[in-house]
Amino acid sequence: MKKVILISILSIVSLGITSCDKDDKSFNIFSIEDDKALGLQVSQSIESDSSDYVVMDPTDHAASYAHIDRIINSILNSGEVKYKDEFVWRVRIIQDDSTLNAFCTPGGYIYVFTGLIKYLDSEDQLAGVLGHEIAHADRRHSTDQLSKQYGYSVLISATLGDKSVIGQIATSLIFLKYSRKDETEADEYSVRYLCPTEYNAAGGAGFFEKIAAAGGSGTPEFLSTHPSPDNRIPTFYDWKKELDCSGSATNTDKYQDFKNSLP
């Protein structure tokens, strides 16, 4: 890690303080290796905290993991995920029926709560949400935000041997909130990822349609600072139309089997 971060600093200096990712106009001081290291630390923190996160064991719940792995692999094999081969893309299901959430750390460690899986009605809806979360990692939104929050001081401290700094950053990732711009881009890329697959590419709209139908009364806290469900729904359909996506599969029966396999 120390060597990787030092290389990142040298790269920043040589580029004259420009983005580390030529395809991204935002300024990100973290390297791809940093993303993976941070994601690993977050995953270790989550999976060692059984009081707050009850992670379902993949061996004990093989049927559930077969379903969610199949959905995620459809997204990853779409040909649209930039860091498909660089990031880990490992999924774990958190047993918590009261939480409607999913998130993806830098480097591709994906977490999905049973509450979200049981709340949704079809496979394309979950694929849309997972595509959105994968986009946050693939578009490097987390480390973009951390670059703005922490800046050079973090890298300097790390290169001087302060290992607790990276641990502090990793912990903060669990509670990181994305900007409206990042959320909108993740919605767009959810459609892009699903477009070449069999799925209805606007599947992600289904989650927000359910929230809107409930009058917003059930809006999860993590959505409270971002565009309202009513404003986000058209984004999915607009991008599906613009990209001329032809997939229409919802796989409702398979999804019911998935839900039945959960505790």
Does position 21 have pLDDT exceeding 50, yes or no?
no
Q: Helix (H, G, I), strand (E, B), or coil: what is residue 103?
A: strand
d(CA 169, CA 40): 12
Band (pLDDT 50/70/90 cuts) for residue 209 is very high
Q: Which of 34-43, 118-127, 242-251 has the lowest mean pLDDT?
A: 34-43
Question: How does 231-263 read in b/e, with b if 16+ C-beta sit within 10 Å?
Answer: ebbebbeebbeeeebebebbbeeebeebbebbe
- The predicted-structure confidence for 212-229, as pLDDT tens digits, reads as follows 888 755 555 545 445 567
Range of lowest pLDDT (26-35, 65-74, 195-204): 26-35
Give which of 110, 169, 182, 101 is closest to 141, Cα–Cα.
Answer: 182
Q: Cβ contacts of residue 163 below 8 Å, gap of 6+? A: none
Could you tell me if residue 163 is left (phi over 0), alpha (psi between -120 and 50 degrees) or otherwise beta? alpha
Whether residue 233 is predicted with pLDDT greater than 90 in this model: the reply is yes
Cα(250)–Cα(22) distance, rounded to whole angstroms?
Answer: 36
What DSSP character marks residue 106? T
Instruction: Say what the pTM is.
Output: 0.84
Residue 170 clears pLDDT 60, i.e. is over it = yes
